Structure 1
């Protein structure tokens, strides 16, 4: 047992850790126990605040400040950050009075409290009034002071070292909470910025996708325009050839027939031959008329030419209306086709109408175009006396015919097959034959040899 070195009595100060100038050990023990109870209540208050994470740092800071004010029996207590430290943390300061009223507005504070708050915010290491009872402990982060916890205590004696230890614990806990708040706010700001950048990138991606579609559409239109320009040049060349050669020959044949008719009129027993000559002259005249219409059509300005398949088919049907009543019906959304695809299908329809007008003894024809997601259906139906079975047999014979004559059905099939399609013959509701043409979508137009390629190879010549 420890004893006093003079009297030999037990040393109670050593045993209790309490010293008193008046050697009133019991009173000092009570005061120490009271301070300890204050410290325990302060820690308990902070522990409750630490679990209220949804409220952010303010709840913890309020508990820290109230615990410090209670521990010091303070008239005023201040928790504040110095300017330039933990810049993103909020609130920057809190003040509580003896009644427990909290504020973060310095406008209504007494002058001496405002001075102390100003000293903390300015980064001063000491109190603004050393003799006024202010107790200050710094807040530290990573070894550097970032603010202070200050109280204008109302204790009977100056705070003991244990009291200052409690205040340092409270101040550093507040500093950590404010730093965490700053990091959280910075993280939220980065998250908002990242979300904004993501939204902008998504919007730009949609815009680029739209622009890509527009560019592809423009490219397709330019390709079609180029193809039509080439076709227009070829049509003009064909028109010149028809005008300068074929038409002249037909006109010459008509004149020769007219001369022959005049000679036959003076002959006896030539009535039958004369009738045939007259028929031949009428046919040659009709051929000249058709050639002139074709030349006029070929010479039309490109701006006047049709562009879509329904317009091409309507234009083809118009040429047969003097001899045949033709209706054109379109179903589905018209899908733009490559220029050669439009013209190949329109020529196949024109060939079918020509066969109807020439061979079917028909008065009416119906042309149908039906667009679906993966197929283009075209048909020519008539009210004539044709037979689907016989036409299928004629097509088989025309496939093997090398004379170059009477190949109308084979030409239709060739044009459709080149586009990846097929044809069939059915009985029409009108009573005659229905020629059905089915082409898969999208249409793939095969590349063809140019005239220069054929000349380089020396043939074979296209028919």
Structure 2
């Protein structure tokens, strides 16, 4: 070989070494180049398999582990290959180990052949020893956050001589598998939590719908109860008036009729000169008889009034003004302001106060008309009952003070009861001179807030 040829061969070797990383002054550099190229191709193929294996995270942990095992086995042309997670780490990861031998995947410890048990024991119990050299085997540790969490072990094929690049590829595969396995667990755990969250959300929505239905039923029940309370208040007032008419007014009219009959009989015995008076007494007796009949008809009507539908306080007051049938008292009801819903006990108390006042007006004041005014103001409600009778407000105020101090054998207890009802609701009762000539009772109550009104109803 000439010197020129030797120089040319040296330059070629230098170029090949620069390209392949092979440094050799011998004629055997080409076989080394071929082996380096093959290792490079295997490394690139392994990286491709790793990427295809690790993108199967969404398929679940089992599919991910199987893909990792097959990728590692293909890289080593392995007779068998084992992937294992150490005990006590990644507790939720499944499967804990997987062996590929002769094309079969084994995940049962009883099925693991004897020649792979030592590797399984090391990877599960002492993963930090996975990097120690073992004859005829390749082992690499799998790390997560710098801590060993398992590893990969296998027996390469006869035509494979594992190099450092092969071990590096297996480490990359093992470490990425650990991360992907943990992320896969987190993904599926998140999906399970999302499914549970959706179920809980649907259950909460259903409970909200059920609660809304029950709330509507409760509101309907409350409205029916309020209506029943309102009807009960009117019925109580009718029955009270009926008892008063029966126990006092009717008996007094009957007594007057009996007295007239006695006087007429005595005058008839006295002589014909009293015949005119006797005739007029007979007419008076007929009038008392007709009055008793009207009272009895009114009492019957009050006891047997057909059931009425509930209404607002103004409506109830207008109905109440029609129950004083036995007298010639004309009752007018006027309402001012925007009506506000009141608690049931407040409406009941106002109806009782109004009924008591109108009954007293009809029985004791010789009044021909009465005025009931209901005024809704900003923060209070004012109820007044006026008449044109001959009552004395000053006398009534004195009687009310005396009643508060002592029991006057039941006299004027109605006024005391009315004042007590008003004060129980945080209000007051006053007795004044009426503009139409008689007595005016004024009741003032604080209006509830919106929340109080709803809760009271």
Task: Calculate the TM-score normalised by the size of structure 2.
Answer: 0.58
How does 1:173-322 map onto structure 2 within 5 Å?
A: 173-192=176-195, 194-195=197-198, 198=201, 201-202=204-205, 205=208, 238=241, 241-243=244-246, 245-259=248-262, 261-262=264-265, 263=267, 273=280, 276-277=283-284, 279-290=286-297, 293=300, 297=303, 315-316=304-305
Query: Please, which of 451, 454, 461 is the counterpart of residue 418 of structure 2?
Result: 451
Q: Show structure 1 runs of 5+ residues with no match.
A: 1-6, 298-314, 318-327, 356-401, 421-445
Residues 227, 352 of structure 1: CA spacing in aligned structure 2 closer, same or farther, 3 A cutoff?
closer
Instruction: Please list the CA deviations of residues 312-354 of structure 1 after superposition, one character each: whole Å capped at 9, or x if unmatched.
Output: xxx325xxxxxxxxxx9x9xxx6x557x678646546767999
Classify the secondary structure of the residue corresponding to 1:159: coil
Separation in 2, partners of 1:458, 1:244: 30
| Higher normalized contact order (CA 8 Å, seq sep 6+, divided by chain length) | 2
- Report the 3-state secondary structure (helix = DSSP H, G, I; strand = E; otherwise coil) of the residue aligned with 2:68: helix
Q: Distance in 2 between matches of 1:32 and 1:146?
A: 32
Whether contact under 8 Å (2:81, 2:153) holds in the other structure is yes
CA displacement 1:209-253 (0-9 Å, x = unmatched): 567667767877887888788878867765665455423431232
Q: Is 2:81–2:155's contact at 8 Å kept on the other side of the alignment? A: yes
Structure 2 CA distance for aligned equivalents of residues 21 and 146 of structure 1: 45
Q: TM-score, normalised by structure 1?
A: 0.57
**Residues 451/292 of structure 1: CA separation in 2 closer, same or farther (3 Å cut):** same
Aligned to 2:406: none
- Corresponding residue for 1:423? none
CA distance in 1, matches of 2:196, 2:118: 39
2:405 corresponds to = none
Asked whether 1:167 is paired with 2:170, we answer yes
SS of aligned partner of 2:167: helix
Q: Please tell me whether residue 46 in structure 1 is matched to residue 35 in structure 2.
A: no
- Alpha carbons 1:38, 1:70 under 8 Å: kept: no
**What's the counterpart of residue 111 of structure 1?**
114
Q: 1:136 to 1:55 in 2, by over 3 A?
A: same
* Structure number having the greater helix percentage: 2
Of the three residues 57, 60, 64, the one matched with 1:56 is 60
Give unmatched runs, 5+ long, in structure 2: 1-6, 329-364, 385-416, 423-427, 434-438, 443-457
Q: In the aligned structure 2, how far is the partner of 1:151 from the partner of 1:75?
A: 7
Q: Which residue of 1 aligns with 2:72?
A: 68
Give the alignment of 1:4-43 within 5 angstroms: 10=10, 14-15=17-18, 16-18=20-22, 24-43=28-47
Deviation at 1:110, TM superposition (A): 0.7
**Matched positions, count:** 345
